[in-house]
Amino acid sequence: MKILRQTRAGSLESNDLMVVMKPLGDREGIKLEINSIVQNQYGDRIREVVTEVLKRNGIMDAYIMIQDRGALDCTIKARVETAIKRGL
Amino acid sequence: MFDTRIIDTASTKEMNCIKDLLNSQGLYLPAGAQYVIAVYNGSRLVGTGALVGKILQGIAVDSEFQGEGISAIIVTDLVNKALEIGRNHLFIFTKPKSSSLFQALGFKPVAASKPDVVLLEWGTQSIEKFKSGLRQISRDKPEASCIVVNCNPFSLGHKYIIEKASYESRWLYVIVVQEDKSLFPYEARIKLVAKGIGHLENVTVIPGGDYIISAATFPSYFTREADLARVHASLDIEVFTTHIAPALKINRRYVGEEPYCEVTNLYNMVMKNRLPKKGIQLIEVPRVENNGRPISASFIREKIKAGEIDHITELVPKSTLSYLKSSQAREVIERIVNSSSRH
């Protein structure tokens, strides 16, 4: 699966996150930037969740920026899924 | 609980309510705001914000409703709008005391000109990325001088000061203002700079990006609002001294004396005051004269406006002149003739 256009999902409100996704060329890989108010505690966990959703959807090349305001895992999954669906 | 609406900027009634809310928070309606939103609680206006170019402005929340996440609603909407129209790199100017509010929404501080203003940014670009690009350029270069130019258009005055700086320095960066707010478009300006100084071997021409005299670091440079200019000039120099100069190993900056423009003159004054404190030498070079008159780009534009291109042959290098006479320049010249802008 390929991200074809810039997309976004979510919000900057408390307990939510904003996902911005941009296409990258073949074999450029995944470039993931995470900013979170709980970066130190949950930065790695957010990365894990996002990477898992990307893998499940077969996204190999994309730039993803996450702005997190303390979202739960299920919210992160939902927002990333939505961004992917809008970008295909 | 809260509804967000896009405001018709032509509706005086709605805009007056927004002005009142902004004024109650010590702010005013940003000039040139085309996209303005309002947040309502029932029929009561409780928050507003605007997008002007790549800058989020005029964000205010009714005192009674602060702390309820309304600013997050406003910023989300403005960011969504910006992303939708392809603006991925956004800025906010705010008072130092409000900085943490925007930092919680992911905005990162670029620089502060205390006690007045902090500049924050958000998005896919950042000062850190810009600096790592500059470090790539400066990696194999010695300590250097720099000069920041708009060159609207490139004249013999620019050529003279750049040559002088080049002879006196081991290396020279000519940083061209990238903001496209001048009568000559950026692409044409930087091309004419590169052509005009191609004979100098120790010079690198660099696009100024969003961080050197841009709408983000120095908005009043383009609007010529003198009262704000001092604050913005300080901010621009703060960005230069803390980020740009170290990344390019700059220890000297050249500027031309400014006999005409008040804002540029003020910018020079701020540099004179601030750069030496940061270990950067400032060299102010008198303007080259032609027939007893300093060569200036605004004078050249006046002559073009008056249809007297033949009168500027002594003021611009051949490369600029042949550009002005080419078909490429037709559109720009038409714009100058029809424009009332001094810039």
| One-character DSSP codes across B128-149 | HHHHHHHHHHHTTS-SEEEEEE
Give the closest residue to B204 by CA, choosing from B165, B258, B157.
Answer: B165
* Chain mean position to CA B96: 21
Give the pLDDT of residue B187. 93
Interface of B with A (CB under 8 A): 69, 72-73, 75-76, 79-80, 83, 86, 88, 104-106, 122-124
For B49, phi then psi, to 5°, come to -165, 160
Query: Residue B224: pLDDT band by 50, 70, 90 thresholds?
Result: low
Q: Rounded to an integer, what distance in angstroms lies between the CA atom of residue B290 and that of residue B281?
A: 28
Give the pLDDT of residue B222. 64
In chain A, the domains with their CATH numbers are: 7-87 (3.30.230.10)
Q: Rounded to an integer, what distance in angstroms lies between the CA atom of residue B300 and that of residue B297?
A: 5
Q: Which residue has tokens 């230069």? A: B240
Same fold yes or no, B3-91 and B128-338: no
**Domain locations in chain B as residue ranges:** 3-91, 128-338
DSSP B197: T
Considering only CB atoms, which chain A residues are within 8 Å of B69? 13-14
For A65, phi then psi, to 5°, come to -115, 130
- As a whole number, mean pLDDT of residues B115-124 equals 89
CATH class given for the domain over B128-338: alpha beta
Q: Rounded to an integer, what distance in angstroms lies between the CA atom of residue B227 and that of residue B233?
A: 11
B140, B305, B320, B341 from B332: Cα distances, Å: 38, 11, 13, 13
Asked if A38 is an interface residue toward chain B (Cβ–Cβ < 8 A), one would say no
CATH number of B3-91: 3.40.630.30
Give the closest residue to B79 by CA, choosing from B101, B59, B58, B56.
Answer: B56
Q: What is the ipTM of this complex?
A: 0.84
Give the pLDDT of residue B44. 93
Give the pLDDT of residue B223. 60
Instruction: Check whether B78 has a pLDDT greater than 60.
Output: yes
Give the closest residue to B288 by CA, choosing from B150, B157, B151.
Answer: B157
Percent of chain B whose pLDDT exceeds 90 = 60
Give the pLDDT of residue B227. 66
- As a whole number, mean pLDDT of residues B117-134 equals 93
Query: Residue B213: pLDDT band by 50, 70, 90 thresholds?
Result: confident
Write the pLDDT tens digit of every residue in B251-305. 999 999 887 778 888 899 999 999 999 999 999 999 898 888 889 888 899 989 8
- As a whole number, mean pLDDT of residues B10-37 equals 87
